[in-house]
Each structure stands twice: as structure tokens, then as C-alpha cells.
Amino acid sequence: MTVKVRKLRDNVQLPQYAHGASEDAGMDLRCLEDEVLNPGQIQVISTGLTVEIPTGFMGEVRSRSGLACEGIVVNNSPGTIDPGYRGEVKVILYNQTPFPKFLKRGERIAQLVVVAYEAVEWEEAELSSTTRGAGGQGSTGVS
């Protein structure tokens, strides 16, 4: 599949697989500018890219495991890029640590995974019964 992309500045890097498409599901998204993410702060970080996700697919913006281990996560993970969206791809990062995080221009800050989805239509009806029924959180016990 081909996804159209436009750089908003010349120095922007396209999303890319670290180990190639046959080994990685996610492509790295990079920070457009130097940024400081203060402790407890949620900040919208620009990537300098716009994309055209094909119909029937969506982009999911997810945390990078290396940053997550440091306490820096995508706050609304996964963030959704709808096929009709044509604005700049931005990443909502949250610093869970008591320390500032300095992000350098071009640093990998998140992953973009393009996945298929199926649109649904709702039908009001009686639901079939199951063993679980309406049992919610904790309904299967602790062990």
C-alpha cells in the first residue's frame, strides 16, 4: 500500500521503519523542533507532516517503548488519524516523570501504524446471551 505524505518543511524526515516493513509494524515519527516537556506536562508536538490515509485504513499513533520506559508516553494512545484528516500529524506526549525531558529536532517520539478497519452500522436488537453476560471489570476474579 502507498500512503501519500507531504512535508511542511524541507528538513522533515518521512516516517520510516527502523528494521524494515517486513520486521516492524510501526514507523517512527519525529519531533519537528527542539522541545522541553516538563514534569507532569501534556504537550502537543508537531511532526511537520500531513498524510492521506487511504479509505478503509486509519493511522494509529502509539508510544515508543524506549520513551515509555523513561515515563514519556503518547497521552491518548493510540491516537487516531482518520482517512479524511488532512491536517498536520501531531503527537500528544505526557511526561509522567518528575524530571524535564528535552526533545531534539528529529528525535523519534512516537510510532505510526497504519491498520485496516471496517465501518459498521448499528442495528437495535436484543443481544444474544453469553456465559460472561454483563460481568465487567474484575468479574473473572483475581487469579
pLDDT digits (tens, 9 = 90+) for 88-130: 999 999 999 999 999 999 999 999 999 999 999 999 999 999 9
5: CB partners within 8 A, 6+ apart: 14, 15, 49, 50, 51, 52
- On whether the pTM is more than 0.75, the answer is yes
Residues 31-60 have a mean pLDDT of: 97
Helix, strand, or coil (residue 44): strand
- Domain spans in the chain, listed from the N-terminal domain onward: 4-116
9-37 burial code (b ≥16 CB/10 A, e <16):
eeebeebeeeeeeeeeebbbbbbbeebeb
Calculated CA dihedral for residues 54, 60, 66, 72, nearest 10 degrees: 130
Architecture of domain 4-116 in CATH?
Distorted Sandwich (2.70)
Cell 456465559, located at residue: 131
**How far apart (Å, rounded) are the C-alpha atoms in residues 135 and 98?**
38
Per-residue pLDDT tens for 11-25? 999 999 999 888 999
